A = this chain, B = another copy of it.
């Protein structure tokens, strides 16, 4: 199988994320895209950061209508900050026979040289960069010097500029964002007063 790994906070997951996963899956003929929400044990949970459990649930809902999309809690189960090298080691162990890709946005490409154990990481996996117009998409020099890198840049996708922070802000202020999220994710957020009610959120942090 060809598997795309898509890491992020997904706080909350929205149609922009689903579109990116769809673009990557179509362009690189992936059999699966696995969403991997970052751990948050090291971060102070607050009204702006939903618990791992909630973020996992929302991705679960969001993936319900797509046979290619899955979710994994490897990063949520690991102690401490999330590094992609650890995510990929865990995924390698789970899928030893499969070809793994790591999906990143155009904004992350420039930062790539600074990632933990990037030299090892780049040998282990291919990267898929989903482009956005107006953002420079060049492979950074330090990466080019590693030679063995395998980076696919998708430049011609339709861009969909939605951000989780905009959505959290909208929820907080009662502004419209219903159609920026899958319906079941939107309803989950309202039902559980996510990004609004700090006390309720704290109670839900115990899950993962």
Seen from chain A, the residues whose Cβ lies within 8 Å of a Cβ on chain B are 15, 18-19, 22-23, 25-27, 65-66, 156-162, 166-167, 170, 174-180, 183
Contact = CB atoms under 8 A, between A and B. Distances in A.
Binding site secondary structure of chain A: helix
B162 A177 contact: no
A22 B176 contact: yes
Contact of A175 (B18, B157, B170): B157
A69 to B, nearest CB: 11
Task: Give the most central of A65, A175, A176: most B CB within 10 Å.
Answer: A176
Contacts of A19: 176, 178-180
B158 A180 contact: yes
Q: Lowest 6 A-B CB distances belong to which pairs?
A: A19-B179, A18-B179, A23-B176, A22-B176, A26-B176, A15-B179
A166 B158 contact: yes
